[in-house]
Structure 1
């Protein structure tokens, strides 16, 4: 897998998504069921009530026996991709990528995979002023629309309120929901949204983005931090605070993972310094269980 900064350097989201996903496409195992699709599978004896349009008349003329042509069709599902576009997603890692940059690559690659497997893909961008929603479509033309929306997305403000997010949970429709976020929230607003989506749509896959410099606290000396969402300023000596920060951060990560799993979400932590293979593997694994 190419490094995420290499994919980002292409400055071409469709090409980056294809590069990241193609290795998975080669080995994917498509789930199939018998139906009336276009790919022929086998014959079976005619039974009263069968659709006569599927009867093989040529074989009947040669053998004086009546057989129905069965075919295989690929199973598919609705994949709903959700992107947290609050201001904290502008945090930049040491490799030059912001969390938003990494999230774009992940979601674009998943959309490429899902579309190539015949899934209907929807995308919702969650911003404080409202939700930008691309309705689900199971067609190749959906990808350019989705790429365009991701490329135009900018992060800003706080995570949207429950009132703004209400349309996302208004309709009951089975789907695999994929939520990509750094999970910074004020009062469990993300947890409430995902719990409601789980109730109306089913499985929720949570991909928790963590920048490598957040984990290692790679800063040195006296430094000024600004909260990207509240604007609060904090000055400290990074070397003196590193050990305490790392302990607190690890405790927060553990508590966040435990809370997500306790609510029944499929939770996975991703580093913005890592290739996309873990994210795509978890997506395909979860997709397989939905079919």
Structure 2
């Protein structure tokens, strides 16, 4: 049963990415132009799918147990940030490219984010109590501990901004969360590319990692060289999402017959420390 759950969980993430992509393409089919970012489709007919797919992805990333405690922390962080990206929209686009203006605003961003905070706190307290009550808490490695404190620091800063500077949070949280989410995802891919055993999957993971890094470099070049090229963001977002989807599908195939990769967590962490 656990193996089947992992299979559906991994497959479900890929399906959510397909869902988001389909909504954007369907919206574009009735519009006169592309939006400058995928996030801008929050204000179009893809609004509901945009929020639903990101929230579903966020929940699945949090629920999914990584192959090491470091990877697990990064996946949890990416999942929490996916909720923030969904709840706090980017700035409203100047043009909706001829599609119907649904009149969607951002008035719900702050209260909806507080709802996410409350749900996360309740779930964290519940998980802590259950692990403490049953004695099932897992020991953390050095890298896992560092990643945990990094996650706590980032989320504490976000919570402080939400509490004491809500207007700043509303204006900046989407962009900060999106960048941090992609960073956590790329770090997860990097971990897999380092720790996976030699074989046919290692070069695939490393190729995806290189592609993701080159995508970020291309974004910088587009910004510097092509002044006024305002669709660079959507190209980068689409490429990174596609690359992550490819990574996740390859991992689904690799791990189809197991819940986690074979090997001791401590051995993986040692390999990671050597790589660093």
Normalised TM-score (structure 1) = 0.25
Normalised TM-score (structure 2) = 0.26
Instruction: Compare CA radii of gyration and give the structure with the larger one.
Output: 1
Q: Flag the structure with more relative contact order, 1 or 2, with Cα contacts below 8 A and sequence separation at least 6.
A: 2
| Structure (1 or 2) with the greater helix fraction | 2
